[in-house]
Chain A
Amino acid sequence: MKPFIVVLLMVTLLTSCIAKTEVIEDIYMALAMAVDFKPTHDDEASLDRSRKGIDLTLSVPLYTADHKVESISFKESGITLKETISSINHKSDQYLSISKLGAVLFSENVLRSGIGEYAETLNADPLISGRLILAMTEGRAEHILQGDFRTNNQPVGRYLCNIVENNFKTFDLPRMNLHQFIYEWKGIGMDPVMPIIEISEKKATLAGIAILKDDSYMGKLTVEEIVPFTWMKKNTRNGSYVVRLPEQNTTIQDSTTRVRYKYLPNHNQFNIYIRVEGKLTKSDLSKSIELSEVRNAINKQFTNQCETVIAKLQKWGTDPLGLGNVVRSRVRNWDERIWKEQYPSLNIKIIVDSTIRR
């Protein structure tokens, strides 16, 4: 019996060569993907999405033996994402795999018409990472992938991810990736956001945050509004913030923020308490400043900024801060429908309390 088993085992193992080998250097690994509408449809944003064609661009790194890398891109048009991805292989001399994707860029028009379907397709593929970064760009997304960046010997896809990740890390931004998108899109009382990437001076930059309602684009928050948005959404560490005083500007460093929410259903009021602790940047000028002056300036300036952001969000009727979710976790028998009706008229109050050290 024993030799029989060994023979049988070897036979099955040999036949199982059918499991498709994907040797690392014999495939193309797309690191970034751009989704645009076909140029002819680009201006007709209201057109029925299902009849619109999409242009798909994949950025693939080509490594050479002398440890250099260049990026090439593959382009294909189609109707659905899945179909386009599989037909892009017609143009490729090696198997083109998308399971290492790090970033997907959508043009503003695509985002405006809703990306739920694309996100669902990407999320349903277990071989695609959930940390995939979804981002928006105002022009055509493919231009970013074809951009000529002075990267540090990095493929474009990786470079774009690094730009976003560096911003996340430095400013302690809320996470924005595929999982988080699905989480906030499907979750009740929340709406997703995503970073906006633009090219400026041969560099990719974070140009703001796109605010979505369900899965479609409503409007953007500018770079200046990112910090207030973040501080209202989550606790942060190691941030920095510019304070405008009457005579000069100064910066708060190593700031730690805490955010607390309080919902007062009887007054239809929602209080957001933000506590800021930070250190004044050392400079000759800052020595003369009174700390209490800075504190008051911060409180006022920050409250104003937050209120601007909140006003925008309420106007668009989206809830990327997840205030609805906060209420859901505190109130029994919470109804999302009623909340959505109330939200635009909700009285949201920002209370900032700052402690500044030298």
Chain B
Amino acid sequence: MKNFIIGIGGTGAKCLEHLLHCCSSGLGPEDLWVGMVDQDEANGNVSRTKILLNKYINLRTSLRDEAKHDLTNNSNLFKTNIRTNNDSVWLPLKGADPTLKEVVHYDLLKPEVKGLMDCLYDPTEKLQNLSEGFRARPNIGAAAMLATTANENDPFWSQIYKAIDAARGGEEVRVFIISSIFGGTGASGFPNIARRIKTIQQEKNVTTNFHLGGALMLPYFNYEVPEENMEGELFAKPEEFLDQTKGALEYYSKLFEHNKIFDQVYITGWDPLSKLSNFKMGGNLQNNPPLFPEIYAALGALKFFSSENKISENQEIFHIGKNDSDEILWSDIPNVSNSLNSKENIAKLIRFAFSYNWMYGPALVGSWSKIKKYSNENWFKRLIYKYTYNSETKNCEVGHEHNQEVILAMKEYCEDILIWITDMHYSTILNTDQKMNLVVSEFFSEFKAKNVSNRVTIKEKLNYSEKNQFKDFVSDGKNLKLLNIMSNICYKKIYRDQKGLGVFMDILFRSCEQ
């Protein structure tokens, strides 16, 4: 089964961040092509996800190398083979800095078509510079998306269009689109990329094996608009979120009523809306925090890709519930499928990240002379020494560059996970009455809501008592202590084909559950 996921706009990218972490934990499908669409190439969220995607792919590639470090197919860590294009982000309008007027060649249009365009778009919209996205005007984006996605030769879209061909050949193909309902790029891309894909599907006369899913993020946050220099700018005004959402929902309602574009659509919002402290209109400063509702979109996508997900003939729209209290609990996180327990996998992943980041990672980083002090410990001997020992050189090469790269990459990745979960934890409930009971992170992290970047900093080292709080880190009631991990790591079974650092990584990952 070929799976494709496209995160559109900032929200789409953020949902992909969650999805990538979920895939790291083993919740993803076997195979997944990931792409992003954003006209605002410099968008901080898109960049963050793009980097994470690269990290994922690189780390996974390093750890799924039969010749070096291999987690093997048995491991759920980085289970999903995620692919992407050379450039994972597709810009609808590349190169130039066009306006809608230029995109549609307004000046060359027949007078009556000009008149129609004048009715459909206001003067500001026609002249809006599109290089930084469609700025809360999805109708502009709609035209731009429809104009640009038509190019079948585009490397980005050719993947999907070829997949549609593959579907005709009998292979199951699933495409999933994530975006928010408001804003610019995402809002405009969601239905229009879907409609373009549908049009291609129809044009290619593919009637079976091809399924289109989507996650539409309804309002789940708002922000305070800075007063300075916003005059005349087009942007998504938070006070308008609900009104604009209503308008869009009515549109979708009518659109879906007469036109089955999606097979499954996952709808998520949040109440109360999270309050972002630092709003940026676009560009690289738009680096909004991961928020809990986004994980639903990610898990909705993974559900869609799940082989257990039987796609109905009817268009399905999914929504979900959480516990009625103001607390966000692990139980609120849906499973991807019956066989894929999301909360367990995610909990496992973040315990892995914690223990790797502050326990094992630091031990493994550095030269042999630094590392060798752990050489007599069981876990080291069992999982590292042996699998990094070069029989030819008769040296444990864990301190060698090729191993250190992986160790450091994993450390970096684990930091990302910890920051992700911590940021999400803080930001989702910030300035609201909610409580987030997924993890306890205060003892290792510091949160600065106003910061655009580095909102969350985590401690480089934890003292004993801090490490001792590991048992409370994940609030899933499992009371898993670091000692349990340290114990587990010595006993968990090593699969036969596992190689190199893949052994340690997988064992540690698996050790992070009871």
Co-complex (A, B): no
